[in-house]
Amino acid sequence: MPSAQALMERLGRYPKVSLAVKPTPLEPLFRLGRALGGLRLWVKRDDLTGLGGGGNKVRKLEYLLGEALARGADTLITTGAWQSNHARQSAAAAARLGLACHLLLSPARPQAGPACTRGGNLLLDRLLGARIHRLEQDEEPMAAMERMAAELASQGARPYIIPRGGTCLLGDLGYAECAVELLTQARAQGIHLDRVVLASGSGGSHAGLVAGFHALGEAVRVTGIAVRASAQEQRPLVARLAAHAAETLGAAAAFKAEAVDVTDAYLGAGYGEPTELMKEALALAAGTEGLLLDPVYTGKAMAGLVDLVRKGGIGRDETVVFLHTGGLPGLFAYADMFP
């Protein structure tokens, strides 16, 4: 297994731009841990990566935009939900680097009010200068992005397509790097890290952490709380992404897909749909720690953490880090969930 230094040297082979404020803080959640029966609980504040309101996608974008600039791109194209955090962070990165940005966004949920259809991340997308395009209900996002790229190229632009969530090998490497950062911080604070809990959506952050810990030979369990798809769909997706990243990091031989830990018990009716456990978890994190989460990703991830602790799925003898992937702007778009 490569050392942390060797892993960082491998990552250094890829072009990269500096966009994130790093390292992000690793902070104790003493009051929330006590509320959960004495759990040793910490939070990795990737909501504080800085650019455009922060969030986990900035780590991915450092590698993706490194490649984009190396290819001479002048235009970014990406896709996501109507209130996509990834789209907002991509728009911010484009603004920082002087690139044009086109966002192809899926329609808002039918019952959404004005806060969701115009506010939250969408308001920030516009302020950041992105051009917003509405995908048709059944339109395949990658095909739509490829058509737009061809059209823009015919007009003289040099477009670069970023997949949903920035999830691909390059993007996932941003979270292999985060694994090194997190372990370095934990050791500096005398923490023996047992488990990381995070929202598992497009799967790249989850896969990158799994690959990074595996490459370092560290037995840290990464529990993904599925927020978009069933565990039956999510587990092989994350395993495939992690295996590709592990191979790139020089540690493919011993990787086992069974190491991927995913639960869909907190998904509820589907992506972006509220659950009572999510609402409780948001209130608990805010009321005990002043820690603000969002309803789509981190709220459901915290709901999973809280419920797993209460039911014994996470032992109170474990040291757990909750990876806060950001998303606060989206909270304001879902105000109707909190009457």
Cα–Cα distance for residue pair 279/187, rounded to 1 Å: 33
Cα 300 from chain centroid? 13
Residue pair 239/252 in contact (Cβ under 8 Å)? The answer is no
List 3, 18, 84, 230, catalytic entry: 84
Contact 82, 119 (CB under 8 A): no
| Distance (Å, whole) CA 143 – CA 14 | 27
CA–CA separation, 125 vs 105, rounded Å?
Answer: 11
Residues 294, 327: Cα–Cα separation, whole Å: 6
Angle subtended by helix axes 204-215 and 57-70, to nearest 10 = 90
For residue 300, give Cα distances in angstroms to 82, 107, 209: 18, 21, 19
What distance in Å separates the CA atoms of residue 245 and residue 10, rounded to the nearest whole number?
11
Q: 133-152 burial, b for 16+ CB within 10 Å, e for fewer?
A: eebeeeeebeebbeebbeeb
Give, in order, the Cα–Cα distances in Å from 202 to each of 96, 191, 255, 329.
24, 29, 21, 19
The number of C-alpha atoms within 13 Å of 19 and in the hemisphere containing its C-beta is 30
84 is catalytic: yes
Contacts of residue 156, Cβ cutoff 8 Å, sequence gap at least 6: none
The angle at the Cα of 231, spanning 226 to 236, to the nearest 5 degrees, equals 110
Query: Catalytic residue numbers?
Result: 84
